[in-house]
Amino acid sequence: MNEAYRPRLVDEKLTQLLGAFGGVLIEGPKWCGKSWTASQQAATEIYIDQQDNRKRALLLPDSVLEGKTPRLIDEWQDAPVLWDTARRIIDSRHAPGQFIFTGSSTVKGEEPSHTGTGRFSRLRMRPLSLYESGDSSGIISLRELFAGGKLENQISGMDAKTAIRLICKGGWPASFWVCEDATMLIASQYLAFVANADIERAGGSTKKPALVKRILRSLARNAATSVRLSSVAADVSADGGDVSDQTVRTYYEALQAIFVVEEQEAWSPSLRSRVRIRATPKRHLADPSLAAAALGATPPALEKDIRTAGFLFETLCFRDLSVYADSLEGTVYHYQDETELEADAVIQLPDNRWAALEVKLGTFEFDKAAENLIKLKGKIAENYPAPAFLGIVTASGGVAYTRDDGVLILPIDCLGP
């Protein structure tokens, strides 16, 4: 392994998948470290976004896939013919660990004829969590909490000011090689590439950079909320000229295709209650730094706008909780019903264990958040397994501890897989 490589939580899972499947497809936003992670376990590699390699892949796909295995095929979606060719090779070799494909967008143009079922496994990567970047000790293990482990009091070094700095810095591997001030430029440059090139390549049709920026700004203003795309269209229209709902949806789907936006789906447990659960997903940009950059927000500006900082902190927590939950094969949802009872995050594991969490940047909302969580537990527990735990994820607790009502206080800089 490269000495400069910073280990990721997906490393172990990638090893496991390579031992079970002919190929692994790693997907996620650009610059999040997919190629670097894949190269640690690849024997040979080729980068399809290089023009000569792309031409060769389109004309002679078999030759591109030749080489010692596992062979890394980076940005494979630029030559979709490689998918079906690799599938055929996997079938002929009858051996796992043949290929690692990485992609930062879905396929543009003609789709492969085969889904890859049984040959390829998919692995999602996100920007670095605080545990992976070294900004969280990980002393509080999500796995242990689900296993019924007792929360020991732990001192947190996090405060709102530090959390805001980490929001703007983001989870980009490139931040390790530049000074602190320069890290703030990474997200703004990322968005510039998205608006001027990446979204058009993914969407297959002309996109106006100025409109892309306005849509991203609206999504950032509504970060970590269940905003409807019709509301985004109205917001964008008020920001600079009429835009139809369908236009916003087309751009939004293109942003999804390049993993710039991610939806946090609503949790729908099988309940006999007549209470209706709202199904609209929460919408996040892939990293809180992208939302801050879209708003032109610096740490000093967010310190003066704590409400916005709170929503961006929720996006940071969604990113980190998703990375940790992935290691348990879990999924992070949100909950909201017609009575307005809600939970910012519900983590569900494959065996039906679940936990409900509220995300609070400051301590002044702890009592109300705990009251909501306990109410949710009572409503769900009527005909569903009790939660493994209830918790408040925060940047201002000062210490991790268990409240008298049983709700856990979980500083984000103590939390890990």
What are the structure tokens assigned to 132, written together?
A: 């992976």
Give Cα separations from 373 to 60, 278, 357, 364, 395 (angstroms). 57, 17, 7, 16, 19
Answer left, alpha or beta for residue 278, where phi above 0 means left and psi between -120 and 50 means alpha.
Answer: beta
Q: How far apart are CA 116 and CA 277, in angstroms?
A: 34
Percent helix / strand / coil, the chain, rounded to 5: 45, 20, 40
Mean pLDDT of 136-160: 96
Alpha carbons within 13 A on the beta-carbon side of 150: 2
Q: How confident is the model at residue 3 (pLDDT cuts 50, 70, 90)?
A: low
Q: Kindly tell me if the per-residue pLDDT of 166 is higher than 60.
A: yes
What are the structure tokens assigned to 115, written together?
A: 């889904």
Q: Give the list of residues 6+ apart from residue 180 with CB closer than 8 angstroms, or none.
A: 169
Q: Kindly tell me if the per-residue pLDDT of 102 is higher than 70.
A: yes
Q: How confident is the model at residue 68 (pLDDT cuts 50, 70, 90)?
A: very high
* pLDDT for 205: 66
Q: How far apart are CA 42 and CA 70, in angstroms?
A: 5
**Residue owning tokens 């989870």:** 171
Q: Is 18 helix (H, G, I), strand (E, B) or coil?
A: helix
Provide the β-strand partners of residue 264: 282
Q: Which of 17-26, 290-299, 379-388, 404-413 has the lowest mean pLDDT?
A: 379-388
Helices (H), 177-287: 180-193, 199-203, 209-221, 229-238, 245-257
Q: What count of other Cβ atoms lies within 10 Å of the Cβ of residue 71?
A: 22
How do residues 171-184 score in pLDDT, each as one tens digit?
999 998 888 888 88
Mean pLDDT of 32-56: 95
In the chain, ranges of CATH 3.40.50.300 domains = 10-124
Provide the β-strand partners of residue 177: none
Q: Give the list of residues 6+ apart from residue 86 with CB closer than 8 angstroms, or none.
A: 22, 23, 65, 73, 98, 99, 101, 119, 120
For residue 194, what is the DSSP state?
I
Q: What is the CATH number of domain 10-124?
A: 3.40.50.300
Q: How far apart are CA 362 and CA 368, in angstroms?
A: 12
How far is residue 182 CA from its own chain's centroid?
Answer: 23
Q: How far apart are CA 347 and CA 357, in angstroms?
A: 8
Provide the β-strand partners of residue 98: none
Q: How confident is the model at residue 105 (pLDDT cuts 50, 70, 90)?
A: confident
Buried b (16+ CB within 10 A) or exposed e, 14-46: beebbeebbbbbbbbbbbbbbbebbbebbeebb
* 253, 197 Cβ separation under 8 angstroms: no
How do residues 178-208 score in pLDDT, each as one tens digit?
888 888 899 999 999 999 888 877 655 678 9
How do residues 350-403 score in pLDDT, each as one tens digit?
999 999 999 999 888 999 999 999 999 998 877 789 999 999 999 987 899 999
* pLDDT for 353: 95
* pLDDT for 216: 97
Name the nearest CA neighbour of 287 among 319, 265, 259.
319
* pLDDT for 415: 98
How do residues 245-284 score in pLDDT, each as one tens digit?
999 999 999 999 999 999 999 998 865 555 667 889 999 9
Which pTM value belongs to this model?
Answer: 0.95
Name the nearest CA neighbour of 72 among 28, 40, 112, 116.
40
Q: How far apart are CA 295 and CA 34, in angstroms?
A: 27
* 18, 70 Cβ separation under 8 angstroms: yes
* 399, 153 Cβ separation under 8 angstroms: yes
